[in-house]
Each structure stands twice: as structure tokens, then as C-alpha cells.
Amino acid sequence: MKSVSVAAVVVAYNRDHMLGDTLDALGAQTRPLDDVIVVDNASTDRSLEYAHNHPVVTNTVEMKRNLGGAGGFAAGIARAISRGADLVWIMDDDTVAQPQALERLLDARERYAGSPAVLACRANWIDGREHPMNTPRERFLIDPKLRAHAQAVGAKQIRTASFVAILLDARAVREEGLPVADYFLWNDDFEYTGRLLRRRIGLYVDAARVEHRTKEFAGATDKDPGDRFFGEVRNKVWSLTRSRAFSPVDRLLYSGATLRRWAKMIAISSRPQARIADIIMGTYAGISAPRPTTEILWDTQVGREAAVLDSGTTEHPAQPYQRSDRNTRFAVLLPVWRGDNVTHFQRSLRSIGVDQIRRPSQIVVVCDGPINPGIDRILRDVAHGRRADLTADIPVKVVRLAQNSGLSHALNVGLPECECEIVARADADDISLPERFATQIPLIEAGFEMVGSAIAEFDEDESSTGLVRRMPMSAREIRQTITRRDPFNHPTIVYTKSAVAAAGGYQHVNHMEDYWLFARMIHLGIPTVNVQDPLVLYRIGAGAYQRRGGVDMFRSELRMQRLLRESRMITVPRYVTNMLVRGGYRLIPVGARKALYQTVGRLLWFR
């Protein structure tokens, strides 16, 4: 049998009296596990202590608050794959696997004529009956050849499964991302395995058995779940309307089955009116999209690992999370031109130099044509190693262009002058906060190739900030947003030179060269993320809203939308919508533009 690394993930919550049996059973597997990870969901009993002290456990993840099964499994899967697992075996802390369970899963996987993405165990209740909570849904309308392939290894083809003792292929996880943590409880496994198995193989291996020690032998239709039914409804709405897990036929069939099941439950409920109210409220809650898993896990011990893993697509699977303790070198690229203010420039230079907690290895300043004499004097000083009060003796390279040629050309000239693969952007009138690079560079080290952040707007007094503009956080949100607007704040960007080069570098689109570059990078599948904290103070200054509109900006908008359409990044209907919304915004009066910007901004991304 081909050697693979298998990690087990156990999500624990306040069942220390059962956790020991679960872990003992993992330690008794005839095919030893390579890694055993326990995610403690903020238990108030001794579960975490048991996990720390059990000899089979190799890693623990301690959650500061209970994120439910959905969040716990998302965290555990992220940790397992970041530690090198090829396969991840997930289960709750009330599940006890028979000694040969894992061996039989792997045997079926090895003998099957294909590459299963999910292999499910048979889950029995304590009396030996198959547990109705964990019976996988078989795939309907299946090719007889596929059914025969499964039967040849003692398995059935399945469409979805529960999270009780299923084995996940890390390759599929890298392509599809993690479970949606915002589900918390119920239907998280339905949606996630449905997503993994929409175009992949799933097998139910009857010979691989576990015992699921729930309090009662009951399926979802046998008992009124009480107030938790609200979550069942909301999550089912999310699954069937917002997830890419199901085809239109799937949605129709599962919707019908769900309504029949709910009707049966309500018919035997002692509180039918409460359950009907749950249906109404849960459906309403399901109208709003679930929060991204990256956002929910960001401040946990696995936040960065989860963000990297959740950035993948089928076409561009996520790359393994890379831990790095080295002091990675990086450069800062800062263009200046004749319109820049000497005081603002000096403050900007100090903010990327002496003020930084984690300082760059090099600063490259590109003079785009003639510049302010005061700025020129500062540059001559720093280029000769003077003005350590600004740069902290960081080497500064000054690149001078004879004529003003625009931002895209200046940046294309400056990038090759950066001696480091990692480059941070900065503008001559903005202020990078001291923690900026200490926050962003570790994310590049972890596997992202472009990292942005929120910005806080200010006028002249940097201690008095105004609106904070946050951009979408996760890679999947970013991919959705790029078709409608620029999902990054350009002055906050840190990227790799190779990623920029792969997208063809900056190309001139007046005032939108950054949007066009980022669109191409996203289209290539380059892993990206936005930090939600503001790391740059963005100087708006006089005339900011005037510059966002006018005939020239409308022409730039028209060209930008044409480029997106010609590159097949947007559809014709999206092109028309964008021109009506974005193009119209460029042509309305300044006062209306300001009011619209601030009103819509407060609703969508300002805080």
C-alpha cells in the first residue's frame, strides 16, 4: 500500500468522560495514525487537560470560544493539512472507532479504481444498529460502472455524509476550502461533503465501523430539536441557495425531502407553532450570507493556516502553509512626483523606516520626473546614509526618471530595482502604522502572494482619523468582489515580484492600473488576503471627491470594464451593470458623489 500521512482530528466539547475512549480507540488502530489533533471548543470541563496528557495526541488546538462542530472541524482540518497530512480522519469526541476501521478505509481507497475524496465509516449506535444520524446519502442516477467499482471494494457511492469518522483527501480540501464555520451546528457536514463530492468520488465503507455514542437512538425526523431548529433552517437555506455544493437537480430533490422531513417533525412536535416560527426566522436569517471561515478563525491559533488553505480553487489549489522563523528580507517601493508635499513625504518615509516594528531590508524611491526640491534634498541625504532619524540606516536606492511617465511605468521601473522577492507598496503622502510589516510579512511567509489591509482616512491631523475602509478578507470573497470593484487598497499592498510578473506587471489604465493588475493576479489564482485592521493612514486631502469623477475618469472606467469583459473576467450583464453603476458614479455632481460614496461605503465597507 502506498505510504500516506494520515491525521485524525477530534473536536471536543465538554465530554471529558467520553474523550478518553475516543483517543484510546485511535491509539489502538491497526494502521497507526501519523498525527492526532484534538480541537478543544472552549470546554469548561477537563477535556483539554485529557487531550494534553493522552499519549496518542500529538497536537492540540485550544479555542477561546465555542465555534461549534463547523468551526472546530474547519480549524482541525486546517491544522492537520498544515502539518503535512495527506488524509484527514475527522470525528466527534463521542465516537469510538473499531481497531481496524482506518485500515479498512485505506484498503478500500487503495483498491478502488479511482481517487475517492471522501471515505465514510459505518456508524453504529451502542446496541449495534446503524445510526440514522450518520447514514450517508447515496448518489442517485449513478453510472452502473461506478456502482460496480464501489461494490468491488465493499463500498457504496455516496453524495453526502456526516462528520462522524470520514476520511478526507487533502487535495480536495485544498481545491474546495474548509467547512463553513458560520454554520456552527447542523448541515455543515451536508454542505461540506456535498461540495467535496459534487464532481468527486465518495465511498461508504461498511466494513470500517465506529460506534457513535449519542444519548439516544434518534434521527433528525424522530424528535423535535427545540430551539436549535432555527439553525437547521438557516443552514439548510444557506446550503441550498448559496453553496456551490449542489446542482439545480440536487437543490430541487433535497428541498423536497427537507420540506417533507420538517412537516413530519412538526406533526409530532409538542410545540408546532414554535417550530413554524423557527422556519420563518431561519429562512429570513438565511437570506444573509454566512461569514467567511477565514474571518471567523482569524484570531484563533489556526487563523493563518486556515486562511491559506481556504484560498484555493479547483483550478489553483491552495499551496501548503509554510511556517517560517527566519527574518525574511523585503523591500518597500515608494514613487514620488512633483505634486508631492515635502512634509508629507518626510512623514511617509519615517513611517516605513524608523517607525516600523519589523523594518524592511531596502527602500526604493522612484522619482517620476522632476520632483519638489525639498524632497530631492531628503533623497540625496538618505541615499548617502544620512537621516537615520527617518530610515534607521535602511539602505535607500533612488531611481530617477527624466520625465513624468505615470504611476504604472514608475512602479514597473522600480520593481526590478528591489533586491528582495517581497515588495511592499507605499505612497508619498500616506502613513504606514508601526505594526504594518510585522502583520503583513508573516502572511507572505505563510503562503500568500498578495496581502492588503484596511485603511483609515485622515486629512491633515493623523491623530484624528475618519472612515475606515475595509476590503473583503478571504480569497473567495476577493474573487467575487473583483468583478464589481477593486477589492484592495493599493497603498497597503505587499506582494511578491514573481506574482506581479506572472500577471504581466502594471499596465496603464489611467487611475486604475492597480485594479487591472489585481484583477489579472486574482484571475491567475494567486493566493490573497486582506487584513481587517487598518495598517495605513490614507490622506484624502482637498479635491478627493473631485478626482474620483469627471469625463476622464469615466473614460478610464469604460476602458477598465472593456478589459475585464475582453478577458472574460466579467459577463456582458455584469459589464452593463458596472457601467451603469460605476460609470454613472463618475458623472454625477461632486456633492452627490461624496454623499453616495460615504453612504454606500458605511453600509458596505466603512466602519
Q: Which of 73-77, 246-250, 345-349 has the lowest mean pLDDT?
A: 246-250
> What pLDDT is attached to residue 475?
82
Could you count the other beta carbons within 10 Å of the beta carbon of residue 189?
22
All three cell numbers of 146: 461506478
Is 48 within the bounds of a domain? yes
Is 149 within the bounds of a domain? yes
Region 335-348: mean pLDDT is: 96
Contact 179, 170 (CB under 8 A): no
Is the predicted pLDDT of residue 543 greater than 70, yes or no? no
Q: List pLDDT tens digits, range 145-188.
A: 888 989 999 999 999 999 999 999 999 999 899 999 999 988 99
Region 333-340: mean pLDDT is: 96
Residues 393, 479: one domain? Answer: yes
Q: Which of these three, 541, 564, 589, is where a domain ends?
A: 541
Closest CA to 206 of 101, 122, 116: 122
For 467-518, what is the HEC assignment? CEECCCCCHHHHHHHCCCCCCCCHHHCEEEHHHHHHCCCCCCCCCCHHHHHH
Is the predicted pLDDT of residue 1 greater than 70, yes or no? no
Q: List pLDDT tens digits, range 390-441.
A: 999 999 999 999 999 999 999 999 999 999 999 999 999 999 999 999 999 9
Phi-psi region of 483 (alpha: psi -120 to 50; beta: other; left: phi over 0): alpha
Q: How far apart are CA 528 and CA 130, in angstroms?
A: 44
Residues 159, 48: one domain? Answer: yes
- Which element (helix H / strand E) includes 168? strand 166-169
> What pLDDT is attached to residue 413?
97
Region 273-293: mean pLDDT is: 93
Q: List pLDDT tens digits, range 19-36.
A: 999 999 999 999 999 999
All three cell numbers of 76: 482541525
> What pLDDT is attached to residue 477?
86
The pairing of strands 431-432 and 528-539 is: antiparallel
Q: Which of 56-60, 143-147, 212-216, 274-278 has the lowest mean pLDDT?
A: 143-147
Residues 388, 537: one domain? Answer: yes
Residues 48, 181: one domain? Answer: yes
Region 227-242: mean pLDDT is: 94
Residues 446, 400: one domain? Answer: yes
All three cell numbers of 316: 489553483
CA dihedral 541, 543, 545, 550 (to 10 degrees): -150
Contact 582, 557 (CB under 8 A): yes
Q: What's the CA angle centered on 352, arms 351 and 355, to 5 degrees?
A: 50
Residues 499, 547: one domain? Answer: no
Is 505 within the bounds of a domain? yes
% of the chain beyond a pLDDT of 90: 73
DSSP classification of residue 182: G
Residues 6+ apart with CB under 8 A from 261: 220, 221
Mean pLDDT value across the chain: 91
Is 311 within the bounds of a domain? no
Region 72-100: mean pLDDT is: 96
| Residue 368, phi then psi, degrees to nearest 5 | -85, 80
Could you count the other beta carbons within 10 Å of the beta carbon of residue 394?
21
> What pLDDT is attached to residue 362?
97
All three cell numbers of 94: 463521542
> What pLDDT is attached to residue 310?
79
Region 49-64: mean pLDDT is: 97
Residues 6+ apart with CB under 8 A from 489: 452, 453, 454, 455, 469, 471, 536, 538
DSSP classification of residue 341: -
% of the chain beyond a pLDDT of 70: 94
Confidence at 121, pLDDT banded by 50, 70, 90: very high
Closest CA to 436 of 446, 425, 445, 447: 425
Confidence at 141, pLDDT banded by 50, 70, 90: confident
Residues 203, 239: one domain? Answer: no
> What pLDDT is attached to residue 2?
58
> What pLDDT is attached to residue 323?
58
Residues 6+ apart with CB under 8 A from 350: 389, 390
Is the predicted pLDDT of residue 316 greater than 70, yes or no? no
Is the predicted pLDDT of residue 218 greater than 80, yes or no? no
> What pLDDT is attached to residue 313?
63
> What pLDDT is attached to residue 542?
62
Contact 183, 80 (CB under 8 A): no
Q: How far apart are CA 366 and CA 554, in angstroms?
A: 28
Confidence at 467, pLDDT banded by 50, 70, 90: confident
> What pLDDT is attached to residue 474?
84
Residues 175, 240: one domain? Answer: no
Confidence at 473, pLDDT banded by 50, 70, 90: confident
> What pLDDT is attached to residue 22?
97
Looking at the DSSP assignment, which residues form a beta bridge with residue 342? none
> What pLDDT is attached to residue 377?
96
Q: Which of these three, 215, 234, 256, is where a domain ends?
A: 215
Residues 261, 165: one domain? Answer: no
Is the predicted pLDDT of residue 4 greater than 80, yes or no? yes
The pairing of strands 396-401 and 362-368 is: parallel
Is 352 within the bounds of a domain? yes
Q: What is the DSSP string of 535-588?
A: EEEEE--TTHHHHT-SHHHHHHHHHHHHHHHHTTSS-HHHHHHHIIIIIHHHHS
Confidence at 324, pLDDT banded by 50, 70, 90: low
- Which element (helix H / strand E) includes 71? helix 68-82
Cβ density class 85-121: b for 16+ within 10 Å, e for less? bbbbbbbbbbbbbbebbbbbbbbbbeebeeebbbbbb
Residues 6+ apart with CB under 8 A from 294: 303, 306, 307, 310, 473, 474, 475, 529
Tell which wins on pLDDT, 144 or 413.
413
Q: How far apart are CA 155 and CA 384, in angstroms?
A: 72
Q: What is the DSSP string of 381-424?
A: HHHTT--HHHHTT--EEEEEESS---HHHHHHHHHHH--SSEEE
Confidence at 221, pLDDT banded by 50, 70, 90: low
Is the predicted pLDDT of residue 292 greater than 80, yes or no? yes
Print the domain residue range for 272.
222-290
Tell which wins on pLDDT, 441 or 597.
441
**Letter for the amino acid at 529?**
V
Confidence at 319, pLDDT banded by 50, 70, 90: low
- Cα→Cα distances 411→245, 300, 426, 432, 442, Å: 41, 36, 11, 19, 24
Q: Which of these three, 508, 523, 541, is where a domain ends?
A: 541
Residues 93, 195: one domain? Answer: yes
Residues 558, 523: one domain? Answer: no
Region 288-305: mean pLDDT is: 91
Tell me, what CATH number does 141's domain have?
3.90.550.10
Q: What is the C-alpha end-to-end distance of the chain, expressed in Å? A: 55
| Residue 409, phi then psi, degrees to nearest 5 | -70, -40
Contact 134, 97 (CB under 8 A): no
Is the predicted pLDDT of residue 606 greater than 60, yes or no? no
Is 306 within the bounds of a domain? no
Confidence at 282, pLDDT banded by 50, 70, 90: very high
Q: What's the CA angle centered on 334, arms 331 and 338, to 5 degrees?
A: 160
> What pLDDT is attached to residue 56?
97
Taking only Cα atoms into account, the Rg of the chain, rounded to an integer number of angstroms, comes to 27
Q: How far apart are CA 198 and CA 139, in angstroms?
A: 10
Contact 482, 569 (CB under 8 A): yes
Strands of 294-339, DSSP E: 330-336
Is the predicted pLDDT of residue 344 greater than 80, yes or no? yes
Helix, strand or coil for residue 236? helix
Tell which wins on pLDDT, 465 or 11.
11
Is 298 within the bounds of a domain? no
DSSP classification of residue 462: T
The pairing of strands 137-138 and 155-160 is: antiparallel
> What pLDDT is attached to residue 404?
94
Q: Which of 141-145, 202-206, 343-347 has the lowest mean pLDDT?
A: 141-145
Q: Is the dihedral of CA 126, 132, 134, 137 positive or negative?
A: positive
- Name the domain count of the chain: 4
Residues 417, 481: one domain? Answer: yes
Q: How far apart are CA 359 and CA 435, in angstroms?
A: 10
Q: What's the CA angle centered on 176, arms 175 and 178, to 5 degrees?
A: 120
Is 265 within the bounds of a domain? yes
Q: What is the DSSP string of 98-143?
A: -TTHHHHHHHHHHHSSS--SEEEEEEE-TTSSBPGGGPPEEPSS--
